[in-house]
A and B are shown apart, each in its own frame.
Chain A
Amino acid sequence: MKIKNYMKLTVPAKSVNESVIRSCTAAFAAQVDPTLEELSDLRSAVSEAVTNCIVHGYKDSEGEITVVLKLTADGWLYIKISDKGCGIEDIEQAMTPLFTTAPEGERAGLGFAVMEAFTDDLKVRSAVGKGTAVTMKKKLSGKYE
């Protein structure tokens, strides 16, 4: 399906940008007039991915997070959120609910479970020492006019 609109954002890995990216994503998605529930789910999924870049990818040190959003005519939203941080050694293990490498930071190990439950598709690509990219797809109920 043809991409009707897209957006690319790069922000420093600061926790204040978690809400900034959530809001930008919701504003971008709003153009197809999705339901409030869909927007709420989208904000949660995006927040999880961005938080992971900050707390795991860069371990609260400096770096950049890039977000790419693409919207098709029939209301599919493609989301790619990536960092150039430490990467993930074992992706399958990382995606297992309740698995976390940061329990001392009060992490619950539920970020990937939220992304999975609140979107229609989730894929994770990662290389140790190079970074991580999370791609999600979400069908929004409205249509691009």
Chain B
Amino acid sequence: MTVELISGDRHLTAVLVGELDHHTAAAARELIDARLERLTPPLLIIDMAGVSFMDSSGIGLILGRKRTAESYGGSVMIKNPSRPAEKVIRLAGLQELVIPEKAGGSPVSEKERKRK
């Protein structure tokens, strides 16, 4: 699993690529938290389009980062989950964290959606 961190204006994006399980979640957690705690962005976006495998350890990773972000008043959203990631996210009842897709295919942020 590789983790790429991209800092935006008011958000941090973590792009996860590869298999997300108990073995790989530990390193991903450390990488994301180090940046998250330093920058305390209002929004952390976890991009899961490239997650080829995920089990409940991925849910632990999402909920753990949500807890970290909420501790300083931030929030977490999931972008473009792959089919295997989406299935487990749904089972965990976390669909509301997934950024809804626009008709054109590009995702709309939670804020943009509320403004409409």
Contacts and interface: CB of A to CB of B under 8 A. Distances in A.
A80 interface: no
Contacts of A107: 56, 60
Interface residues of A, number: 23
Interface footprint category on B: 20 to 34
A141 B57 CA distance: 28
B22 A55 contact: yes
B77 to A, nearest CB: 18
Where chain A touches its partner, the secondary structure class is helix
Nearest to A108: B59
B10 to A, nearest CB: 26
Given A19-B21, A19-B23, A113-B91, A106 B64 contact: yes
Interface string B65-90: 00000000000000000011001100
A54 B25 CA distance: 14
A43 B52 CA distance: 11
B88 to A, nearest CB: 7
Interface of A: 15-16, 18-19, 22, 40-41, 43-44, 47-48, 51, 54-55, 105-108, 110-111, 113-114, 117
Interface of B: 19, 21-23, 25, 29, 53-57, 59-61, 63-64, 83-84, 87-88, 91-92
